Amino acid sequence: MSKLGCICGHIIADNTDSIPYKGDLLKDEDSERFWDAAAAGLAALVGAVKSGRRERWIDQHFLAGYPRNLNDESVISDFLSGLWMKYSVTVYECESCGRVKVQEGTTSNQFRSYAPEDSAAHNVLRSEHKDVVDG
């Protein structure tokens, strides 16, 4: 997605990373599914690495052609990213009027718009951890 129009006339652009008006939403009904799949997949990867079957685990979780020379951290990141994309939807906040646009489904290009109850409701998707270094 590159641009999404808001009813107020503002154009919401998505053409870079770390956008302060973009987020992902994990629906409560999918939360347990996501975390269970993540825990099971990562536990299976640990077991596969320990038993020398890492390549087999990769074959089961990625498409043909997936690079074999990646370190475990990259494989874990790709695995979790794939799960996240399977279960989460994208949300945007209009920087002009504060409306929140929620993707209708994980594979949909359609968005539903929700207006804030007051004009002060802005920056609800901006990170609270912007300056925090994880690791």
The reported pLDDT for the residue numbered 59 is 96
| Confidence tier at 133 by pLDDT (50, 70, 90) | low
The reported pLDDT for the residue numbered 75 is 98
Residue 121 lies in a domain: no
| Confidence tier at 132 by pLDDT (50, 70, 90) | low
Q: What is the pTM of this model?
A: 0.85
Average pLDDT score over residue span 83-110: 95
21-57: pLDDT as tens digits: 999 999 999 999 999 999 999 999 999 999 999 999 9
Residue 86 lies in a domain: yes
> Could you give the count of Cα atoms lying within 13 Å of 111 in the half-sphere of its Cβ?
22
**How many structural domains is the chain composed of?**
1
d(CA 77, CA 75): 5
Pairing of strands 3-5, 88-93: unpaired
The reported pLDDT for the residue numbered 121 is 67
Residue 119 lies in a domain: no
Residue 81 lies in a domain: yes
Tell me which residue range forms the domain holding 17: 3-114
Residue 120 lies in a domain: no
